[in-house]
Chains A and B, each alone.
Chain A
């Protein structure tokens, strides 16, 4: 996905809206129009935004263009929706806010996108340049604030810079290791007369991402792999970002290497595949973490050995020689020592490695892992008087045939969804991993639904987190999105409660949380809504929601003190893994 490809697929402006275009050209061209033209040139179809003083000129001209503006209810919703759109489609998500509070409301979604390497372009209005620095009304230094949470940011000072800046922003957001880019535009620049500069080759002296790995490093990696008896691949988000699913499968099958997935790697490798270990890390499957613990070779690809994956670094994969492929050189050797660091795109790296290596067998190792796997990660048959959230996730997987897009919030339900909604499809699993942002699930579902209309999006959210951004139900209803919200209501900030139970003597300080009557609330927003309290109702309710051509809400009232198993406590190692029943 390059800027040129997007530009080529964009509708020619003159043909798309002839009437509007003619009208637009009759008026003097100003920065606001130049901005819209530049966005159209990048192929932007949808913008999630919210107006305000500094961006009124932009809203004044926006209707002239073939860009669908989705009015959210809070700028945080705009940011997460643009993020969900980007994750679901692979295109750059765009959000827009006014200066001051509008801009600061984007901080959490921008940070969320930064930590998860999401291509996002955030556009903010700014006070006129004449008053910048005077603490003017709604003036805030948003480029200063977002310095550490953007891949790059721009303050546009002249109307002629708008076109080149937009071009650079989309290029930066979507190439190399993707990430959010912010463009701050003072109001006087939006009002200044000017024209869109023609596309020019992008010249960024300090930005040249390396896509093709070094041959010599690939050869060294192949040699390490040949020497291995107990190899494991750890596949992350980079698989999905670079479209490396086939390449990963090719290498895994050819060299018979089991594949563990990070939380954001889910969708990068079929979970029912014999070589798939499923999710690894803090709430990963025991057999998957054990495989890493016993491995003599680990190939990390498109992932960053985050602490939620490794636990205690000194005890992570203690017997393994680690080979690491990542497009960001700064990730190599950052957390774990590697014997072969490889800078490059995950897809190309895997393809080159697969071409370099002859077919290998690891029958003994795979049989050993299968033996560990026989202990099921969770016993759904366990008697329970209350509804089990794990069961809900499993039924959702079954009844959607695993084909729905699933967004999650953050907490226990997120981990149950990861474990039991065994997503197999890239870009169908949408979850805030790095930042762990509660409030992400509902607006991300809105964005995903707009990016892939006609497909069902299930927003799996907790009763706590949903209350952080549920105002976007109004947007979902207004847009008639096929977003089905599944609230997993355990009456607690469950993940924190679980930590309190295990590590703080069950001192449930401030984690019991109440909510509204979610069915009445959903109904008030105009959504078909219902409550499910018993196991027998689960299938029927899911089918009911699927049959509705539009949004729906189901509140699943589940056991209050269900826990996520297995669990490796923070900063601990595989040896400290807590299984169910403890």
Chain B
């Protein structure tokens, strides 16, 4: 089975230690996590975790089922390849001088719609949001100027349209 990147949206009860339980499960079973983003969801007491994991479909199915075995896990959505909005935010500090500043600003704003949030005589800090591959491309483009620092939030995702997401695997359904 081919390995590809999957985006899982996991809704959990917001109890102490729940992130630890989820991460412990990934570690124990050898599932690879590429990115994690955690924050509050629409309902009080519910956190939303977005994981990007790589693996074949069988591994993702096993991850999903094992996640459901954790008491605090309420819902797991595999939103990969669905009609979803995927966004990540990155702060990037890049070397800049009088000679390069204009070029960097052009690349960042015209192509990637990044915003400048700070500047100093020898650097520029920009903020960019978008799907992860957009951030990757921006990084590739400005790498020649010398990147000093990168901070990325990890990916968050949401399905398009009026629905609240479809369950790819429901607890009591057949696999």
**A associates with B:** yes
Report whether A205 and B174 are in contact in the complex, using a CB–CB cutoff of 8 Å: no
Total number of residue pairs linking A and B with CB closer than 8 Å: 52
Report whether B24 and A147 are in contact in the complex, using a CB–CB cutoff of 8 Å: yes
Distance in angstroms from A143 CB to nearest chain B CB is 7
Q: Does B88 contact A (CB under 8 A)?
A: no
When chains A and B are docked, how far (Å) is the Cα of A143 from the Cα of B16? 12
Name A343's contact: one of B58, B70, B172 (CB within 8 Å): B172
In the bound complex, residues from chain A placing their C-beta under 8 Å from that of B175 are 329, 332-333, 341, 343
Interface mask (A129-153 → B, CB under 8 Å = 1, otherwise 0): 0000000000000011001100010
Report whether A152 and B65 are in contact in the complex, using a CB–CB cutoff of 8 Å: no
In the bound complex, residues from chain A placing their C-beta under 8 Å from that of B61 are 333
Name the CB-closest residue of B to A329. B65
Q: Does B127 contact A (CB under 8 A)?
A: no
Report whether A328 and B69 are in contact in the complex, using a CB–CB cutoff of 8 Å: yes
Report whether B71 and A206 are in contact in the complex, using a CB–CB cutoff of 8 Å: yes
Report whether B20 and A329 are in contact in the complex, using a CB–CB cutoff of 8 Å: no
In the bound complex, residues from chain B placing their C-beta under 8 Å from that of A328 are 69
Name the CB-closest residue of B to A333. B175
When chains A and B are docked, how far (Å) is the Cα of A330 from the Cα of B64? 8
In the bound complex, residues from chain B placing their C-beta under 8 Å from that of A217 are 174
Q: Does A214 contact B (CB under 8 A)?
A: yes
Interface mask (B56-69 → A, CB under 8 Å = 1, otherwise 0): 00100110011011
Name B72's contact: one of A147, A206, A330, A341 (CB within 8 Å): A206
Q: Does A172 contact B (CB under 8 A)?
A: yes
In the bound complex, residues from chain B placing their C-beta under 8 Å from that of A210 are 171-172
Report whether A205 and B58 are in contact in the complex, using a CB–CB cutoff of 8 Å: no
Distance in angstroms from B57 CB to nearest chain A CB is 11
Name A214's contact: one of B25, B171, B174 (CB within 8 Å): B174
Name B174's contact: one of A147, A204, A207, A342 (CB within 8 Å): A342
Report whether B74 and A206 are in contact in the complex, using a CB–CB cutoff of 8 Å: yes
When chains A and B are docked, how far (Å) is the Cα of A332 from the Cα of B175? 7
Distance in angstroms from A170 CB to nearest chain B CB is 14
Q: Does A208 contact B (CB under 8 A)?
A: yes
Distance in angstroms from B136 CB to nearest chain A CB is 34
Q: Which of A144, A172, A206 has the most CB of B within 10 A?
A: A206
Name the CB-closest residue of A to B72. A206
Report whether B69 and A148 are in contact in the complex, using a CB–CB cutoff of 8 Å: no
Kindly identify, within residues 37 to 79 of chain B, every residue whose CB is under 8 Å from any CB belonging to chain A: 58, 61-62, 65-66, 68-74
When chains A and B are docked, how far (Å) is the Cα of A143 from the Cα of B12? 19
Q: Which of B12, B20, B58, B175 has the most CB of A within 10 A?
A: B175
In the bound complex, residues from chain A placing their C-beta under 8 Å from that of B162 are none
In the bound complex, residues from chain A placing their C-beta under 8 Å from that of B172 are 208, 210, 343
Q: Does A334 contact B (CB under 8 A)?
A: yes
Name B71's contact: one of A148, A152, A332 (CB within 8 Å): A152
When chains A and B are docked, how far (Å) is the Cα of A334 from the Cα of B29? 12
When chains A and B are docked, how far (Å) is the Cα of A206 from the Cα of B116? 43
Distance in angstroms from A162 CB to nearest chain B CB is 17
Name B69's contact: one of A205, A330, A341, A342 (CB within 8 Å): A330
With A205-B13, A208-B171, A210-B171: A330-B65 Cβ-Cβ less than 8 Å: yes
With A206-B13, A210-B172: A147-B21 Cβ-Cβ less than 8 Å: yes
Interface mask (A144-180 → B, CB under 8 Å = 1, otherwise 0): 1001100010000000000000000000100000000
When chains A and B are docked, how far (Å) is the Cα of A147 from the Cα of B61? 22
In the bound complex, residues from chain A placing their C-beta under 8 Å from that of B70 are 206
**Chain A residue total in the interface (Cβ 8 A):** 23
In the bound complex, residues from chain A placing their C-beta under 8 Å from that of B174 are 214, 217, 332, 341-343
When chains A and B are docked, how far (Å) is the Cα of A172 from the Cα of B171? 16
Distance in angstroms from B149 CB to nearest chain A CB is 32
With A148-B28, A208-B172, A341-B174: A143-B71 Cβ-Cβ less than 8 Å: no
Report whether B66 and A330 are in contact in the complex, using a CB–CB cutoff of 8 Å: yes
In the bound complex, residues from chain B placing their C-beta under 8 Å from that of A330 are 62, 65-66, 68-69
Distance in angstroms from A26 CB to nearest chain B CB is 37
Distance in angstroms from A114 CB to nearest chain B CB is 12
Name the CB-closest residue of B to A149. B28
Name A147's contact: one of B13, B20, B65, B69 (CB within 8 Å): B20
When chains A and B are docked, how far (Å) is the Cα of A205 from the Cα of B71? 8
Distance in angstroms from B44 CB to nearest chain A CB is 13
With A143-B17, A217-B174, A329-B65: A207-B24 Cβ-Cβ less than 8 Å: no
Name the CB-closest residue of B to A332. B175
Report whether B58 and A207 are in contact in the complex, using a CB–CB cutoff of 8 Å: no
Distance in angstroms from A283 CB to nearest chain B CB is 28
In the bound complex, residues from chain A placing their C-beta under 8 Å from that of B71 are 152, 172, 204, 206-207
Name B58's contact: one of A143, A172, A214, A333 (CB within 8 Å): A333
Q: Which of A207, A214, A329, A342 has the most CB of B within 10 A?
A: A329
When chains A and B are docked, how far (Å) is the Cα of A204 from the Cα of B21? 16
Kindly identify, within residues 316 to 355 of chain A, every residue whose CB is under 8 Å from any CB belonging to chain B: 328-330, 332-334, 341-343
Name the CB-closest residue of B to A340. B174
Name the CB-closest residue of B to A172. B71
Distance in angstroms from B71 CB to nearest chain A CB is 5
Report whether B171 and A329 are in contact in the complex, using a CB–CB cutoff of 8 Å: yes
Kindly identify, within residues 278 to 309 of chain A, every residue whose CB is under 8 Å from any CB belonging to chain B: none
Distance in angstroms from A152 CB to nearest chain B CB is 5
Name the CB-closest residue of A to B64. A330
Interface mask (A196-235 → B, CB under 8 Å = 1, otherwise 0): 0000000011111010001001000000000000000000
In the bound complex, residues from chain A placing their C-beta under 8 Å from that of B73 are 206
Name the CB-closest residue of B to A338. B175
When chains A and B are docked, how far (Å) is the Cα of A204 from the Cα of B171? 14
| Closest 5 pairs (CB-CB, A-B) | A330-B65, A210-B172, A148-B28, A341-B175, A206-B73
Q: A208-B171, A214-B173, A330-B69 are in contact. List 19 more A-B contacts (CB 8 A).
A: A144-B20, A147-B20, A148-B25, A148-B28, A204-B71, A206-B68, A206-B71, A207-B71, A208-B172, A210-B172, A328-B69, A329-B171, A332-B175, A333-B58, A333-B61, A341-B174, A341-B175, A343-B174, A343-B175
28 sampled A-B residue pairs with Cβ under 8 A: A147-B24, A148-B25, A152-B71, A172-B71, A204-B71, A206-B70, A206-B71, A206-B72, A206-B73, A206-B74, A207-B71, A208-B171, A210-B171, A210-B172, A328-B69, A329-B68, A329-B171, A329-B175, A330-B62, A330-B66, A330-B69, A332-B175, A333-B175, A341-B175, A342-B174, A343-B173, A343-B174, A343-B175
